[in-house]
């Protein structure tokens, strides 16, 4: 491989496509070259991109009709990368939210893999269809370009049977109704970086709180996931920007029987109208809630913090103790006030926060006399995807003898 070899990482949503480009350097090291996204797909399309140092590379708007969907957005972004930056990646890595029960690691993509992943669309309706869309586009337009799917569920496949099951008939588990867990690429990155960040606790009992518009928590033991707050879908666990988190299934039955809502309406309601947005009536954005004087906005924040505390107790029980607590993702990395309030909830663990270190988003934000050290570790799911993609590319002939590249 030459120094100009690059890997493209794609994370596609319903109205945006985020992408990053990494160069492959000596000994397989990866260096981020640029990051960008195509926003406003189908409404107000806009391509924005910046270099590794943050310098703007592009900021341009497009007519709606030129970017009506994700494949069109991929076409525009790909053309910009090829024609203007002369970037021709040797492979593309994709974030795919749901790998179902069969995928416990990244996989080289062919048409058969895409067909299998389509079966999990109903399990992640907000993410899976959009994750698969650019994969299909590239398969059609560049059939010999290797693509790798990296799954948000894969890291949690180390869960024991008791953590994986629901108390329902076994046939449903065999069909795939089980507790998958999500945000696995983020937790995997944290688990891999903790030995450098906190070598004393990296292989111990660690709770990681991935707090963003999507939010969950994970219990790590020996660097492996043993329990998670999310389950069959990304609706469970903590309250999120627009998702409710843990909710009595009876509420769903009530919505259907008493409010006359269809299954698709209930799905839309739970994924788009609940969580911080539903509880506050103000916003799904924690920054707006923190700035608001509205009593319901305050209640939404109180609820968010309270549920994090409750789930920390559950995960500590799964771990049979606790050696460290880690904050990550948008809210976890940037909101000192939320971290401080969560730390108060963890006071019974012996957690003592250092206000000065917390206010400057330091790596270690607990006091020396805190029984449990508390860290802020920025996550990097895109780098994790790039690393997996490169590893699979390098090892494909030996580790996947039956894998055929689509040509």
Give the separation between CA 394 and CA 368, rounded to whole angstroms. 44
- Strand, coil or helix: what is 21? strand
Answer whether residue 162 is part of any domain: no
pLDDT digits (tens, 9 = 90+) for 344-386: 999 999 999 999 999 999 999 999 999 999 999 999 999 999 9
At which of 122, 151, 180 does a domain end? 151
Whether residues 206 and 146 share a domain: the answer is no
Write the secondary structure of 4-47 as one string of H (helix), E (strand) and C (coil). Answer: CCEEEEEEECCCCEEEEEEEECHHHCEEEEEEEEEECCCCCCEE
Whether residue 405 is predicted with pLDDT greater than 60 in this model: the reply is no
pLDDT confidence of residue 406: 32
In a domain, 358, yes or no: yes
Residues 147 and 236 in one domain: no
Q: What is the pLDDT of residue 161?
A: 96
pLDDT of residue 400: 36
The answer on 207 and 116 residing in a single domain is no
Whether 3 shows a pLDDT value over 80: the answer reads: no
Q: Is pLDDT at 187 greater than 90 in this prediction?
A: yes
Query: Does residue 18 sit within a domain?
Result: yes
Q: Cβ–Cβ contacts within 10 Å for residue 68, how many? A: 14
Instruction: Tell me: do 287 and 208 sit in the same domain.
Output: yes
Angle at 347 between CA 345 and CA 350, to 5 degrees: 150
Asked if 134 and 17 count as a contact pair (C-beta separation under 8 A), the reply is yes
Query: What's the mean pLDDT in 283-295?
Result: 94
For β-strands 17-24 and 6-12, DSSP reports them as antiparallel
Q: How confident is the model at residue 398 (pLDDT cuts 50, 70, 90)?
A: very low
| Residue 222, in any domain of the structure | yes
Based on the fold, state whether residues 139 and 277 are members of the same structural domain: no
Can you give the pLDDT at residue 326? Answer: 98
* Binding site listing for Mg(2+): 11, 381
CATH of the domain at 322: 3.30.420.40
Q: Kindly report which listed range (27-36, 103-112, 118-127, 277-286) carries the lowest average pLDDT score.
A: 118-127
**Binding positions:** 11, 18, 95, 210-214, 285-287, 330-334, 381
CA gap 387, 107 in Å, rounded: 13
Output the pTM of the full model. Answer: 0.91
300 in the same domain as 229: yes
Q: What is the mean pLDDT of residues 212-231?
A: 96
C-alpha–C-alpha distance, residues 299 and 318, integer Å: 29
Catalytic annotation, pick one of 152, 164, 323, 380: 152
5-25 pLDDT tens trace: 999 999 987 678 899 999 998
Q: Are 141 and 209 in a shared domain? A: no
226 lies in the same domain as 369: yes
Q: Which residues are annotated as a binding site for substrate?
A: 95
**Residues 109, 216: one domain?**
no
Model confidence at 334, pLDDT cuts 50, 70, 90, reads: very high
Residue 128 sits in the same domain as residue 220? no
pLDDT of residue 401: 32
Q: Is residue 253 domain-resident?
A: yes
Is 180 within a domain? no
194 occurs within a structural domain: no
Whether residues 13 and 124 share a domain: the answer is yes
What pLDDT does residue 351 have?
97
Distance in angstroms (rounded) separating the CA atoms of residues 14 and 159: 30
- Please give the pLDDT value at position 4: 67
Q: Does 406 fall in a domain?
A: no
Binding residues for ATP: 18, 210-214, 285-287, 330-334
Residues 21 and 145 in one domain: yes
Angle at 62 between CA 59 and CA 63, to 5 degrees: 160
Number of domains in the chain: 2
| Rounded Cα–Cα distance for residues 203 and 208 (Å) | 13
Q: 124 lies in which domain range?
A: 6-151
| Statement: residue 394 has pLDDT above 90 | no
Look over the chain and give the mean of its residue pLDDT values, rounded to a whole number: 92
Active site residue 83: no
């Amino acid at each position: 491989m030459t120094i100009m070899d690059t890997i493209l990482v794609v994370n596609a949503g319903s109205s945006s496509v985020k992408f990053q480009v990494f160069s492959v350097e000596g000994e397989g090291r990866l260096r981020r070259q640029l990051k960008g996204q195509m926003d406003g797909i189908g409404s107000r399309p806009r391509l924005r991109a910046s270099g590794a140092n943050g310098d703007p590379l592009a900021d341009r708007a497009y007519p709606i009709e030129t970017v009506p969907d994700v494949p069109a957005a991929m076409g525009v972004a790909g053309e910009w990368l090829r024609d203007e930056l002369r970037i021709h990646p040797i492979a593309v890595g994709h974030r795919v939210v749901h790998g179902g029960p069969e995928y416990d690691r990244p996989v080289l993509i062919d048409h058969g893999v895409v067909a299998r992943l389509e079966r999990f669309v109903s399990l992640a309706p907000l993410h899976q269809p959009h994750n698969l869309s650019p994969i299909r586009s590239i398969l059609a337009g560049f059939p010999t370009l290797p693509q790798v799917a990296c799954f948000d569920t894969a890291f949690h496949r180390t869960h024991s049977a008791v953590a994986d099951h629901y108390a329902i008939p076994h046939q449903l588990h065999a069909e795939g109704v089980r507790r998958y867990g999500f945000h696995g690429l983020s937790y995997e990155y944290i688990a891999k970086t903790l030995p450098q960040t906190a070598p004393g606790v990296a292989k111990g009992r660690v709770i990681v709180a991935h707090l963003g518009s999507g939010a969950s928590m994970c219990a790590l033991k020996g660097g492996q996931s043993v329990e998670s707050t999310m389950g069959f879908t990304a609706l469970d666990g903590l309250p999120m920007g627009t998702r409710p988190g843990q909710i009595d299934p009876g509420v769903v039955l009530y919505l259907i029987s008493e409010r006359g809502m269809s299954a698709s309406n209930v799905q839309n309601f739970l994924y788009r109208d609940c969580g911080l947005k539903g509880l506050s009536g103000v916003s799904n954005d924690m920054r707006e809630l923190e700035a608001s004087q509205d009593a319901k906005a305050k209640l939404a924040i109180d609820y968010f913090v309270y549920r994090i505390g409750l789930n920390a107790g559950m995960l500590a029980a799964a771990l049979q103790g606790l050696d460290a607590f880690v904050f990550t993702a948008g809210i976890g990395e940037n909101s000192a006030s939320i971290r401080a309030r969560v730390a108060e909830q963890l006071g019974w663990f012996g957690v003592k926060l250092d206000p000065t270190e917390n206010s400057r988003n330091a790596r270690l934000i607990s006091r020396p006399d805190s029984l449990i050290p508390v860290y802020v570790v920025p996550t990097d799911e895109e780098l994790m995807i790039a690393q997996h993609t490169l590893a699979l590319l390098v090892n494909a002939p030996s580790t996947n003898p039956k894998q055929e590249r689509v040509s």
